[in-house]
Structures are given as C-alpha cells and as structure tokens.
Amino acid sequence: MKITGVELRRIAMPLVAPFRTSFGTETARDVLLVRVVTPESEGWGECVAMSEPLYSSEYADGAADVLRRFLVPAVTALPDVDAYGVERALAPFKGHRMAKTALECAVLDAELRAAGRSFGSFLGAARDRVPCGVSVGIMDSVPRLLDAVSAYLEAGYVRVKLKIEPGWDLVPVRAVRERFGDDLLLQVDANAAYTLSDAPHLARLDEFGLLLIEQPLGEEDLVQHAALARRLNTPLCLDESILSAGHAAAAISLGACSIVNIKPGRVGGYIEARRVHDVCRAHGIAVWCGGMLETGIGRAANVALAALPGFTLPGDTSASGRYFATDVTEPFVLRDGHLPVPAGPGLGVAPLAGVLREVTTSTEWIPA
Ligand SMILES: CC(=O)N[C@@H](Cc1ccc2ccccc2c1)C(=O)O
Ligand SMILES: [Mg+2]
C-alpha cells in the first residue's frame, strides 16, 4: 500500500465528569488522531498520550512533533507499506510508543479496510463481545464514591476498579466491599503512588478479597514489586512498568506481577500488544485490556484486542458514555455488561463527520 499523505488532527473532548487519579485530575481529553490516506482507503489511529506527561513521558504536543518530523516521513517514504512495515520503519526511533501506536493503527485500519478484513480477525479475536469493567476515580467523599459505583453497577459493569492513593485507600475500598458485598469483582489501581516502605499498609488490602492491586509502586520498580508481591496475598498487576513483550517477560520471571494490564499505546502498537498477550499466555499469566479514556477510535481497536483468548479478566473497555456525552464515532453501548467487537472492515468504526468538525481544534496535512 502506498500512502498519499497523513493528517494529524487534534480534538477536544470534554469528560462527563472529572477523572481523578493519584497523578492528577482530568476534565477533558485533548486527543491527537492520525488519519492515513491511500489510493484505496483511509485509516484512523488514536494517540492516547495525555496533554501533560503525567501518566508517562509522552504528551500530545510531543507526539504530534515526533510524528510530523520523524515517524510520518519514515513511513510515507516507503513505496509499499503494511503495519509490520510500519513497525520496522519506526524501530530506529527510540520511545514515543503512543505516537508510534497511533500511526501503526491508522495504517493497519487502512490496510484492513482495503482487504475487507476486521481488526478482530487480524489480531485473532476469539469472541464477538467482551465483558467490561469500569475505572472509578478518586472522589470527594465516600458517599459520592458509593453513588458512583452504584450507578456503574446499575449500568451493568461486571467489574469495578477503584483509583487509590495514600490517604484514599483502605476506607473507600472497605466501604465499597461492605456496601456491594463479597461477590463484587473489585480491584484497585494506585498509578505508582506508593513505595516499598508502604508494604505493611498495602498488605491491609488483603482483607478485601481484591482481584488485584495495579501498579502500586514506581514504573521502574520491577525488583521492588517482586519484593512487595512476596508480602501480599492479593495478586499484583503491572501497567506503567510494562512497555514491551520483553518487559512482560522480565516482570514475570522476576515475580513482579502475576497479572498484566495491556495498553497498546503504552507498548508501542497493537502488534506488540499481541506479543505481550502471547508471552503472558505462555507463562500462564492473565491479561486484561487497560484504558486511556479513548474515543471510539481507540476503543474499537481495544475491544478487538480484548477479544483475544488470553484476556480472561474484564478490562477498562468501558462504554463511550463512561467518559463522553458524545463520542466522535457511533457510541459503544454496554449490553449485559459487554461491548460488541466491531465486525466491519478495519476498525469497523470511523469518526462521524459532523461530530468530528465540532470537536476539531486543529488539523495538519503531511503529504507523502
Ligand atoms: C481507565 C484508567 O484508569 N486508565 C489509566 C489511568 C488514566 C487515568 C486518566 C487518564 C486521563 C487521560 C488519559 C489517560 C488517562 C489514564 C490506568 O489504568 O492507569
Ligand atoms: Mg493503571
């Protein structure tokens, strides 16, 4: 496939409610979308980097810059390209995994649309719908938290994840467990807010029968997570620490985690995300699909990924309405706690022209 050109488009997506984590509070998404145009078709990809480098080192303006100056030219220079060719062409550039993922996804979407093949069939989806969990932010009070969880359970979510940080952990978790009972699938995510010296405190989470504790320690603390895992009964899950299939293998062999949250943007692409899935599966490690408050573009790709056989835990693949009053694609709507895997060619969804025009804050065309 020969690329004619690439569009970088920024869109502003207000959130239906502020989303607070241990690293900050988000009230709107400033999203970078990538559109790849070829003579046969066009494809879309979403860069999940935040507007500020608070979750990872990447941020939207930086991703746009590295795409504009290095990544897009490296790909559009190729006479014929597919998603694997994109991976090879981008390998010389270090890091910038979220930016790379957006471009790889857009090429893959265009390629699959031209071939009349769905994302799910390319990745190896084993199901046509996936069970969905929900990520609940840090709230102003426990009553407000209980109201939010109650509404999400009403909506049908099959698993609840609570954001925690020092000062907001045991009390809210205990309140949710006591209100909604022992059968509720419940887990927590600290976004690296603790240190190994907090081990005795974190061990007190064991009494709540959680599915997992996600990324309690720093992104680079693989050995410390292994030490912490030996002092907890609750399984440890890593998110920020796992940037590749190699990282997953290292974390597993160190005993730093027994579950992995897979986010394609964090690991550099959907092809690499499948490699992480395969490595974990080979080690008997369960995986689930994380979320970065994606629009329907990233959501469509993630739901397809979440349908792979090793994704045995509900992911943060929540409905569009969890984050946006109006999604940029047809909304993903929860049915019996599941989202359908798009079956159409490519991502199976595309931005709705009217909504896209409304939310666009800038566009830039990069000719091949
Ligand atoms: C659903 C969920 O908890 N996601 C991330 C954290 C997170 C939170 C807030 C975000 C805001 C803008 C972009 C990405 C973001 C990611 C996580 O699993 O750690
Ligand atoms: Mg996380």
Question: What is the tens place of the pLDDT at every residue in 44-67?
Answer: 999 999 999 999 999 999 999 999
For residue 291, how far is its CA from the centre of ligand 1 (angstroms)? Answer: 6
For residue 38, how far is its CA from the centre of ligand 1 (angstroms)? Answer: 32
ipTM over 0.90: yes
Residue reference for tokens 């062409």: 89
What does the alpha-carbon distance between residue 297 and residue 34 come to, in Å, rounded to a whole number?
Answer: 10
318 pocket-lining for ligand 1 (C-beta < 6 Å)? no
Closest C-alpha residue for ligand 1 atom 12: 50
Closest C-alpha residue for ligand 1 atom 7: 292
263 is catalytic: yes
The ligand 1 atom at the shortest distance from the C-alpha of residue 19 is 9
Residue 13 maps to a domain: yes
191 pocket-lining for ligand 1 (C-beta < 6 Å)? yes
Residue 75 maps to a domain: yes
**pLDDT at residue 203 in the model:** 98
163 is catalytic: yes
pTM: 0.98
Pairing of strands 236-238, 213-214: parallel
293 pocket-lining for ligand 1 (C-beta < 6 Å)? yes
User: Alpha carbon of 29 to those of 259, 298, 356, 359: distances in Å?
Assistant: 28, 13, 14, 11
> 124 phi and psi, to 5 degrees?
105, 35
User: Alpha carbon of 8 to those of 110, 119, 191: distances in Å?
Assistant: 15, 22, 29
**pLDDT at residue 154 in the model:** 98
**pLDDT at residue 101 in the model:** 98
Band the pLDDT of 88: cuts 50, 70, 90: very high
63 pocket-lining for ligand 1 (C-beta < 6 Å)? no
What does the alpha-carbon distance between residue 33 and residue 7 come to, in Å, rounded to a whole number?
Answer: 8
* Whether residues 302 and 181 fall in one domain: yes
Ligand nearest to the Cα of 135, by number: 1
The ligand 1 atom at the shortest distance from the C-alpha of residue 26 is 11
Q: Which of 2, 94, 161, 263 is catalytic?
A: 263
* Whether residues 319 and 173 fall in one domain: yes
Total domains in the chain come to: 2
* Whether residues 79 and 225 fall in one domain: no
* Whether residues 83 and 25 fall in one domain: yes
For residue 287, how far is its CA from the centre of ligand 1 (angstroms)? Answer: 17
For residue 267, how far is its CA from the centre of ligand 1 (angstroms)? Answer: 15
Contact 236, 229 (CB under 8 A): yes
Collapsed DSSP state (helix, strand, coil) of residue 28: strand
Contact 349, 330 (CB under 8 A): yes
**119-165 pLDDT, tens per residue?**
999 999 999 999 999 999 999 999 999 999 999 999 999 999 999 99
Residues with Cβ–ion distance below 5 A, ligand 2: 189, 214, 239
For residue 223, how far is its CA from the centre of ligand 1 (angstroms)? Answer: 24
Range of the domain at 269: 121-340
The ligand 1 atom at the shortest distance from the C-alpha of residue 261 is 18
- CATH at 57: 3.30.390.10
* Percent share of the chain, pLDDT over 70: 100
Phi-psi region of 336 (alpha: psi -120 to 50; beta: other; left: phi over 0): left
Residue 346 maps to a domain: no
Return all residues near 114 (Cβ < 8 A) that are at least 6 apart. 1, 38, 40, 41
Residue 210 maps to a domain: yes
